[in-house]
Amino acid sequence: MNALAAVGAVVQVGGVLAGAPFVVGGMKQVRARLEGRSGGGIGQPWRDLRKQLRKQQLRPTGTTVVFRVAPAVAAGSALLIAAIIPLVTLGSPLDSSADLFGVVGLLFLGTVALTLAGLDTGTAFGGMGSSREITIAALVEPTILLAVFALSLPGHSANLAAIVSAASGDPAQALALGSVLAFVALVIVIVAETGRLPVDNPSTHLELTMIHEAMVLEYSGPRLALVEWASGMRLTVLLGLLANLFLPWGIAGAEPSLLGLLVGTAAIAVKVAVLALALAAVEVFIAKLRLFRVPELLAGSFLLALLAVTASSFLASAR
C-alpha cells in the first residue's frame, strides 16, 4: 500500500459526500423531464441542504439521545462504507478490516439507528414507519447474504477487493449465469434498502405509502438535512458497489498511480451516473407495490440469490 492508496480512500469519501446530492438531484431531474415537468435542476438537493443546515435546531419534546444521534450514525456508517469498499482504488487502507459481510452489517446499522429514532419520537407515524422499515430490512438481509455468498465463490474470498479483482481478471465472469442472477437479486435488494419505487415512494408524504418518510417525519432543520444526505450517500455507495462488483472497468489497482486514481474517479462517476439515471428512468414506468405484496418481491429476489449460489457453486465447479 502506498500513500496514493490512502489518497484514493479520501477521494472516495469526499466524492460520495459531494456527489450524493447530485445523484439524487439527477434522478429527480430525469423523473421530472420524463413526466413533462421542467424540474428543479441537478443542484436542487444541494440548495435544499444549504437551506436546512442554516435553520434552527429543534428537538421534539420527550425525545432522547437516540433521536439526536441517529442521523449522525446513519451518515457515519454510510461514510465508513464509502471508505472501505473499492470505488476508486482496490487498495483502500481499510479494505482488509471488513469484508462484504461487514459492509452489510454497517448498512444495517444505519437502518437500525433511524428505526430506533422513529420509535423514540413516540408518534404513530414514527412507529408505523419503523415497523415497516424493519420488516423490509429483515426480509432483505438473507437475500444480501446469499447474493454475497454467490459473488464470493468465484474469487474464493468475501473480501471486496478480492471479489472485484477476480471479476476484472475474468471479464466473461460477469456474463455467467450465477453473476447475472446475483445482479438481479442485488438490484431488487438495493431498491428495497434505499426506499425507491416500487417498494417505497421517496417523493410522497401520503400516509398509506410512507415507509422511510414516516420514520423521519419528526426531523427538521440540520438533522433532517443530515438524514437526507445520509440516504443519498447510501444510494450512491450501493450503486457504486453494484457497478464495481459486476463491471470493474477502470478501477485503480492496489498500488495506484496518480493517473490510475484520476481514471478510477472518472470511471466510477460515469458508472454511478449511468446506473442512477437508468434507475430513475425505469421508476417512471412503475407504480408502488402494495405493502403486502412487497414480501412477494423480496421472496423472489431471495430465490434468485439462492439460484445464483447453486449456479455458481454446482454448475461452475467443473471449470
Partner 1 sequence: MSDTTYTGVLDLAAGAFLLVAVLIVWRRDLRATVRLLAWQGAALAVLPFSEGVLRHEAAPIVVGLAILVLRGGVLPVLLGRAVSTEPRERRESAPLVNTTASLLVVAALTVLAYAVTRPIIALSPTPTTRAVPAAFAVILIAVFVLVSRRRALSQAVGFLMLDNGITATAFLIAAGVPLIVELGASLDILFAVIVLGLLAGHMQHTFGGTDLDQLRELRD
CA distances from 69 to 86, 126, 230 (A): 28, 16, 13
| Per CB under 8 A, 303 contacts partner 1 | yes
If the CB atoms of residues 176 and 217 are measured against partner 1, the closer one turns out to be 176
If the CB atoms of residues 140 and 311 are measured against partner 1, the closer one turns out to be 311
Residue 62 burial class via C-beta count within 10 angstroms: exposed 0-12, middle 13-18, buried 19 and up:
exposed
CA distance 70 to 238: 20
Q: 240 and 23 in contact (C-beta within 8 Å)?
A: no
Q: Which of residues 85-104 bind partner 1 (CB under 8 A)?
A: none
| Per CB under 8 A, 22 contacts partner 1 | no
| Per CB under 8 A, 311 contacts partner 1 | yes
Counting residues that bind partner 1 (by CB under 8 A) gives: 20
| Per CB under 8 A, 40 contacts partner 1 | no
Grid cell, residue 19, equals: 456527489
- Count of CB atoms situated within 10 Å of the CB of 51: 11
Site string for partner 1, 276-295 (x = CB under 8 A): -------------------x
Return the bridge partners of 89, or none: 252
Site string for partner 1, 186-225 (x = CB under 8 A): ----------------------------------------
Cβ 188 to partner 1 shortest distance, Å: 12
CA distances from 304 to 157, 185, 189 (A): 21, 6, 11
Grid cell, residue 163, equals: 471479489
If the CB atoms of residues 189 and 215 are measured against partner 1, the closer one turns out to be 189
Q: 223 and 71 in contact (C-beta within 8 Å)?
A: yes
Give the dihedral sign, CA 163/168/169/173. positive
| Per CB under 8 A, 315 contacts partner 1 | yes
If the CB atoms of residues 148 and 241 are measured against partner 1, the closer one turns out to be 148
If the CB atoms of residues 255 and 296 are measured against partner 1, the closer one turns out to be 296
If the CB atoms of residues 221 and 295 are measured against partner 1, the closer one turns out to be 295
Instruction: Write down the H helix ranges in the chain.
Output: 3-34, 44-53, 65-84, 100-120, 124-155, 160-169, 177-193, 212-215, 221-246, 258-284, 294-310
| Per CB under 8 A, 306 contacts partner 1 | yes
| Per CB under 8 A, 65 contacts partner 1 | no
Cβ 314 to partner 1 shortest distance, Å: 6
Which of 162, 181, 186, 217 contacts partner 1 by CB under 8 A? 181
Tell me which stretch binds partner 1 (CB under 8 A): 70-78, 100-108, 208-216, 298-306: 298-306
- The residue with cell 447475472 is 180
| Per CB under 8 A, 145 contacts partner 1 | no
Site string for partner 1, 158-177 (x = CB under 8 A): ------------------xx
CB under 8 A, 24+ apart: contacts of 138-143:
139/192, 139/294, 139/295, 139/298, 139/299, 139/302, 140/189, 140/192, 140/193, 140/298, 141/104, 141/108, 142/302, 143/185, 143/188, 143/189, 143/298, 143/301, 143/302, 143/305
Which of 38, 56, 61, 317 contacts partner 1 by CB under 8 A? 317
Q: Under the rule (CB under 8 A), what is the footprint of partner 1? A: 176-177, 181, 295-296, 299-300, 302-304, 306-307, 310-311, 314-319
